[in-house]
Structure 1
């Protein structure tokens, strides 16, 4: 494990511990509590030292976004499998290079888009497959927060890969690509709205498809209950507020597993509406552990990765085009 911040402690280590096929052997971090929390492991203050000296077969990289490419490249060249926190990298060119290196080295390159395993997103997929809403023509996805003042952390400071578009944008884009594939064009507005802000803290992306429109949105000024999804079709619509409960449970120190893991309270269910009725629609259970289960199957049995790298690369390309659209103030066509 490279990094011992929120991502490693909350979204990776609990699920690594669940997998009997995986053994945590080393962590690279300068945080002093590491020696207390994991005294039995090999500790490396430098990530490159871990890559060069550890005999680990899989390296999980949770360090800041700008370090993803060089660290993943080094690990692959050392013959190690790599799991990168999202975003995969910060450019299409970097992603293509990593893909080529992984192919040449015969190693797996995976990216952690865990929100494919959010219960509300699994529910969306079920609704679309069932045809209950008819043909879908509008989709809206929000990841809003109430954080009106910038925080002193790398994600909100100036620098490559910082800002909310690189933090939450990959989640919303990846889920949309899972549902509908690549759009024909994108129109984006990416802003720094908070006083004293150093990086993008607001985005509004509109993805243009031949038969539908998609809006992806994030604001730091949403103090009210937050809209998560709006799905509208020819037979009805589905509206969902609030976030999947897994993150809050993990932050509170709960260990994943058990029959009630990832289940929402009935009061948090979304609403399915038609011309004649309106009903609470149960949310499927979310389960981030499925990501690691599928990753293990890919490493040991050459099964398909939980998130194909080609999907992650498509998401990076859309972020690049969103930045271009915002800078130019124009709709940008998606080529290829």
Structure 2
């Protein structure tokens, strides 16, 4: 039996994304081999060469992209760098995995999708929250028709963060929306991506961009230069009779923050709290730890269904067994091996559609009108 082919992976960027979400999972994926790291300015206590002395190390992205031994490039850099770096990597015949948000515009996403096809290379976007166990639970409920025809779907990423992060403390605190920065592209890309997976493209979008910390709505009168910290969007699906509410806010005082509220003709599902994988990983845990990704019973959602007697029954809805973010990397590795776009877990073409919805939210927020994406 032939040995499994291994593909050398070079990671550009050595921040939280690389350390927590990519390096550990690459090391657990048998057909991928961590080969090289790019860190622009290593320093004591934060040094890729010190942490991984057996790997190749670069201080410039162009060097790893030009390395003929590198098969796959993973971009863990700010989103305003994604387009030129992805384009360069594809032109150098690399497969590419790009952190979300993908690129600032759907036009750029379309161009990169076409280039990947031209170069016969895999181009994938890291929308890892497709593998959150609560989202998989929602998918399961819809697939099993537990809720009937869905009439309203709410998805939230709310927090209590009344103090803004200091400018320049992270890239997220410095980029404008035109650079794929801010809450709409950061948290919004997760929420809208999940909606897209479930329901596809909406017919209309209504969006409001809000400064909850300052108590004002961001509109098209010039104040859009000051980035919002919160968003609310309504996605309308005409033929489904469905309204989807997408919300991310910083002034939500709750002991259990809302995550999903799904209402259908046969039942409803209510879920609070976030998938535990990120907190586990940030806390130094590993995907190999016992119970990784499993929610405790006190965080299970509630399911209300119409019983045989016509009365509504309220019951605990156990979260499904987690596939975990390791499943994403397993699928990505298989796509690299096959070279087929249809095997890519999150194709760039889908990320382009999500960006069209995000752009419609922005346009609606500026004009106050309903926008077709």
| TMscore range, shorter length | over 0.9
Q: Is the 8 A contact 1:149 1:195 kept in 2?
A: no
Equivalents in 1 of 2:52, 2:251: separation in Å? 38
Q: Is the 8 A contact 2:212 2:249 kept in 1?
A: no
Cα RMSD (Å)? 1.6
Matched, 1:199 2:227: yes
Tell me what 2:218 maps to.
Answer: none
Cα offset for 1:223? 3.6
SS in 2 for 1:214: strand
Tell me what 1:110 maps to.
Answer: 124
Tell me what 2:170 maps to.
Answer: 153
Matched, 1:299 2:336: yes
SS in 2 for 1:13: helix
Q: Structure 1 runs of 4+ off > 4 angstroms?
A: 195-198
Give TM-score, length-normalised by structure 1.
0.96
Matched, 1:86 2:117: no
Alignment equivalent of 1:18, drawn from 17, 28, 39: 28
SS in 2 for 1:228: strand
Tell me what 1:220 maps to.
Answer: 250
Equivalents in 2 of 1:302, 1:35: separation in Å? 31
Structure 1: which 5+ residue stretches go unaligned?
Answer: none
Q: Following superposition of structure 1 onto structure 2, how do residues 26-37 of structure 1 map, counting pairs within 5 Å?
A: 26-29=36-39, 30-32=41-43, 33-37=47-51
Cα offset for 1:49? 2.1
Cα offset for 1:184? 0.4
Equivalents in 1 of 2:332, 2:175: separation in Å? 33
Which 10-residue stretch deviates more, 259-268 or 123-132? 259-268
Matched, 1:329 2:359: no
Cα offset for 1:257? 2.5
Cα offset for 1:260? 1.7
Structure 2: which 5+ residue stretches go unaligned?
Answer: 1-10, 216-224, 306-310
Q: Is the 8 A contact 1:157 1:198 kept in 2?
A: no
Q: Is the 8 A contact 1:231 1:238 kept in 2?
A: yes
Alignment equivalent of 2:189, drawn from 155, 158, 170: 170
Residues 313, 143 of structure 1: alpha-carbon distance in 2 compared, 3 angstrom cutoff: same
Which 10-residue stretch deviates more, 53-62 or 82-91? 53-62
